[in-house]
Amino acid sequence: MTTRKILLTISVLLCLITQGISQDVIIKRNGTEIQTKIIQITDDLIKYKDYSFLDGPLRSLYISEVFMVVYENGQRERFDQITEVEKQPQKESQKTQTNELYEYRENNTVSSKNESHFALGIGYGNSYGGVGTKVQFIQELGGDFSIGIQASIGTILDINSDEINSILSYSGGILIYPFKSFYLNLQYGGFGIYYKANYDFDSGSLSFSPELLYGPTVLVGYELFLSEHFGLNLGAGGCYDLNGGNQYYYAYDVGLIFRF
């Protein structure tokens, strides 16, 4: 018989003899005795109050630490120690839960890696070169902040003359996204038509021809995505003409965005 078993046996005998079976006694595996009033025993815990302080707090002790309980009526209940074989399924379960938690975090946590994407826009306005299309490249820089570049080509129609004419327009610029969908568009290029006066000295006649307005444009816009890849683009701002008379004009955008 080992020393530890001898100590446990002695503790039990002393408990039965000296305590007169007047209270519950918890005997721990290290030989320590606790004079208690047991309140509840669950699968994992023994909940009790100190016998000398029954109005005190409710305490608890893991069953794995307990060798035996001797109740006040003399009944004894022994708690066999869990073997390593019995612990194995619990370890495997904990391992499975850990792996599942790791996979969940991998699949649901937002990646810290900054991503980039291309977008194609079709619409009408300054960023589209009149009626046209634009291509964007956007690079995320962290959080909701992104920056990108844009190029567009389109056609501006002359509908104020007797014949409908069109002028090829183009522009390029920088996009700044301080928030996820709101952006500031700084661009330079064509955005409208003005009419240039042409006087023929030989015939003494005066005629007007459509010419392209171009210069810097500032737009504040919003991209409303209805799905992962498809959305609407709305923008408004102002532009300054450097070609037809150095005047300010309103700027606007309305279009569809396809993100890749």
More confident residue, 10 or 50: 50
| Residue 206 near residue 199, CB atoms below 8 Å | yes
The percent of residues in the chain predicted with pLDDT above 90, rounded, is 32
Residue 20 has pLDDT above 50, yes or no: no
Question: How confident is the model over 200-222, as a mean pLDDT?
Answer: 82
| Least reliable range by pLDDT among 57-71, 142-156, 192-206 | 192-206
pLDDT at residue 199, rounded to an integer: 74
Q: At 237, which helix (H) or strand (E)? A: strand 230-240
| Least reliable range by pLDDT among 45-59, 165-179, 197-211, 237-251 | 197-211
Which residue type is seen at 171? S
Which residue type is seen at 51? Y
∠ Cα 121 233 258 (to 5°): 40
Give the list of residues 6+ apart from residue 78 with CB closer than 8 angstroms, or none: 67, 68
Residue 192 has pLDDT above 90, yes or no: no
pLDDT at residue 141, rounded to an integer: 87
| Least reliable range by pLDDT among 27-31, 146-150, 202-206, 224-228 | 202-206
Structure tokens at 181: 């969908």
Evaluated on CA atoms 84, 86, 91, 92, the torsion sign reads positive
Question: How confident is the model over 20-48, as a mean pLDDT?
Answer: 86
pTM exceeding 0.85 = no
Residue 87 has pLDDT above 60, yes or no: no
Distance CA 256, CA 259 (A): 10
Instruction: Pick the closest to residue 61 from 99, 33, 87 (CA basis).
Output: 33
Residue 19 has pLDDT above 60, yes or no: no
More confident residue, 3 or 238: 238
Residue 211 has pLDDT above 50, yes or no: yes
More confident residue, 79 or 22: 79
Q: At 122, which helix (H) or strand (E)? A: strand 116-125
Distance CA 230, CA 224 (A): 9
Distance CA 61, CA 51 (A): 15
Which residue type is seen at 146? S
Instruction: Pick the closest to residue 150 from 140, 136, 139, 138 (CA basis).
Output: 136
Which residue type is seen at 230? F
Residue 235 has pLDDT above 60, yes or no: yes
For tokens 């007007």, the residue is 208
pLDDT at residue 247, rounded to an integer: 86
- 116-125 and 205-225: which strand pairing? unpaired
3-state helix, strand, coil in the chain (%, to 5): 20, 55, 25
Question: How confident is the model over 129-142, as a mean pLDDT?
Answer: 90
Distance CA 172, CA 152 (A): 6
- pLDDT band of residue 216 (cuts 50, 70, 90) is very high
